[in-house]
Amino acid sequence: MTYVHPEYLISPAELAADLDNPKRRIFDATVYLAPASSGGYRADSGLARFEACHVPGAQFLDLVKAASDTTTGLGFTLPPVEQLERLFRNLGVSNDTEVVFYSTGHMMWATRAWWLLRYCGHRNARVLNGGFSAWRKGRHPTTREVSTPGAGTFEAQGETGWFADREAVLSAIGDPGTCTVNALSPDVFAGTSRMHYGRKGHIAGSVNVFYDDLMDHGFLKQAAALRDALNAKGLLDAPRVIAYCGGGISATVDGFACRLLGHGDVAVYDGSMAEWVRDESLPMETGP
């Protein structure tokens, strides 16, 4: 069994074999998370480590500020599409550019970047399977030199269906046509973890597919195993899927996996738990 959309991924060997492709832009989207006193996480830019070592030709994509709306009080909020258009244009992206995203540590930062660009209407975005760790383990070249291509001509259009808001998630509770999935760990989902977002548990009626259970030593699982993991909770059979997590990042791993296997109606709840817990009237549950 193979992925329905294998073109959404690129292997380290495949990228290394065509590293000098002038029609490609490569981005390191790494963010580092540290525990915060509030019970959640603090996001730190990966720029310093990028400057020390990265894939040749890569640029740094700032998910913390440049690719987020920083006025909402919530981390990683989807910004206006015009902001993303300017950002990617300035980084040398045009509509016909092949774009590759990678991250150090977990692949979720690369899938978040991929999700943003696909939302903008770009059709040729890929994620480096295994990320920078796999790149280095493969003994592929690295550099400290930063690429500075000229501006691109990218024209973005915000496409519906890639993101869901709070009202859509609330309406989906009890809707048999929508599977709402929590991508956080089982103990956070159940409300038994010390880590939480202000209220423990999960959005009422949602199921749990831990994003890290879709991975195998830093790589996405093979198609058959990935399908089994998603089918176990009914994601691939549901007409519509809404994925959420703490702040709209790890949910993109679940969403990306669904899209990779051909599901065409998958959205990420951008505000996720960080927004949901603020309103005590919004229903939550604890337990597995």
Residue 74 pLDDT = 86
- Residue 240, helix vs strand vs coil: strand
| Comparison of pLDDT for 83 and 38, the residue scoring more | 83
Q: State both tokens at 184.
A: 């956080």
pLDDT (tens digit, 9 = 90+) per residue, 269-283? 999 999 999 999 999
* pLDDT band at 244; cut points 50, 70, 90: very high
Q: How many helices (H) and strands (E) does the chain have?
A: 10, 16
Q: State both tokens at 220.
A: 């996405």
SS3 percent helix, strand, coil of the chain, rounded to 5, is 30, 20, 50
Residue range 120-142: mean pLDDT, rounded: 98
pLDDT (tens digit, 9 = 90+) per residue, 15-24? 999 999 999 9
Task: Kindly report the average pLDDT of the chain as a whole number.
Answer: 95
Residue 220 has pLDDT above 90, yes or no: yes
Q: Give ∠ CA 168-169-175 in degrees, rounded to 5.
A: 90
Q: Give the percent of the chain with pLDDT over 90.
A: 89
DSSP per-residue letters across 58-113: EEE--TTTTTS-TTSSSTTPPPPHHHHHHHHHHTT--TT-EEEEE-SS-THHHHHH
Strands (E) located in the chain: 9-10, 24-28, 31-35, 41-45, 58-60, 98-102, 125-128, 163-164, 178-182, 202-203, 207-208, 215-216, 219-220, 240-244, 266-269, 284-285
Residue 12 pLDDT = 98
pLDDT (tens digit, 9 = 90+) per residue, 56-79? 999 999 999 999 998 888 888 999
Residues 6+ apart with CB under 8 A from 115: 162, 252, 255, 256, 268
pLDDT (tens digit, 9 = 90+) per residue, 13-62? 999 999 999 999 999 999 998 777 665 678 889 999 999 999 999 999 99
Ordered by where they begin, the domains of the chain are 6-137 (3.40.250.10), 163-285 (3.40.250.10)
Residues 6+ apart with CB under 8 A from 206: 180, 181, 182, 244
Give the amino acid at 139: R
Residue 198 pLDDT = 81
41-45/31-35 β-pairing: antiparallel
Residue 276 pLDDT = 96
Residue 229 pLDDT = 98
Q: What are phi and psi of 211, to 5 degrees?
A: -55, -35
9-10/125-128 β-pairing: parallel
Residue 179 has pLDDT above 90, yes or no: yes
Cα-based distances in Å from 273 to 31, 94, 138, 276, 279: 19, 34, 37, 5, 10
Cα 191 to Cα 179: distance, rounded to the nearest angstrom? 20
Burial string for 71-91 (b: 16+ CB within 10 Å, else e) reads eeebbbbbbebeebbbbbbeb
* pTM listed for this prediction: 0.95
